[in-house]
Amino acid sequence: MPKYIKKKLNVNIILIATIFFLVLVIAVMSTAVIQRVKHEKLIAEMTAIHEEEMNDLHDKLQEEYETQLAALKKYYEYGGDISQIELEAEYVAKVIYGTAKNHSDADKRAVVWCILNRVEHYGHPDTVQGVCEQPKQWMGYSSENPVLADIYDLALAELKTWHSGGHRPLSNDYIYLTWSSDEILLRDTFEENKSTRYWRMK
């Protein structure tokens, strides 16, 4: 084979090899670029999802914190669990409804404090619910009595005062009621013929 043909053939082989190598390098680089773009896109998506989850978690924790803080503030403001006080107000409202629903607010408050005095008295249950549900103690009381909004609000206000150690409007000796269509009187003994002291809510 003539030398020039052989030389040309070698040049062609080198050229083809070079082209093949360049194509291979370009293909590898393109694949790497594509993979990098996909990887960066995946990271961006995962980061966005993570940030959204973190934001949701932050919002949830913030809401729980604010709820707990509000409950704690109420607890210390009223000297007890506000949900328990609200439940007590329902029982008291049912006693008031059966006993003094047509009386003045002052008379209704007298009923509330008679109940609370009994809670503190050794001869009666030591819970508001227990005192309210004592058999044959409250005229017209029934667990089925409705809880009227205005009576409930009045009862709740007095209970908050009691729980927080606020001003008592009367002595805790008065644990009995004497009622009529006109007024409600509190008294300190069951038998009226014994040195009974009466008290009327002002």
State pLDDT tens for residues 115-135.
999 999 998 999 999 999 998
129 close to 89: Cβ distance less than 8 angstroms: no
- Rounded to the nearest angstrom, the gap between the alpha carbon of residue 59 and the centroid of all alpha carbons in its chain is 16
Distance CA 131, CA 123 (A): 10
- More confidently predicted of 51 and 6: 51
Q: What is the dihedral of CA 130, 132, 134, 135, to 10 degrees?
A: -150
Distance CA 122, CA 135 (A): 17
* pLDDT surpasses 70 at 160: yes
Residue 177 DSSP label:
E
Q: What's the pTM value of the predicted model, to 2 decimals?
A: 0.61
Distance CA 176, CA 109 (A): 14
Residue 164 DSSP label:
T
Distance CA 161, CA 85 (A): 11
Q: How confident is the model at residue 105 (pLDDT cuts 50, 70, 90)?
A: very high
The pLDDT value given to residue 15: 67
The pLDDT value given to residue 57: 77
The pLDDT value given to residue 158: 94
Which residue is associated with the tokens 């008379």?
Answer: 107
The pLDDT value given to residue 78: 60
- More confidently predicted of 120 and 6: 120
Give percent above pLDDT 90 in the chain.
Answer: 28
The whole-number average pLDDT for the span 127-155 is 92
The pLDDT value given to residue 66: 75
Q: Show the tokens assigned to 68.
A: 């707990």
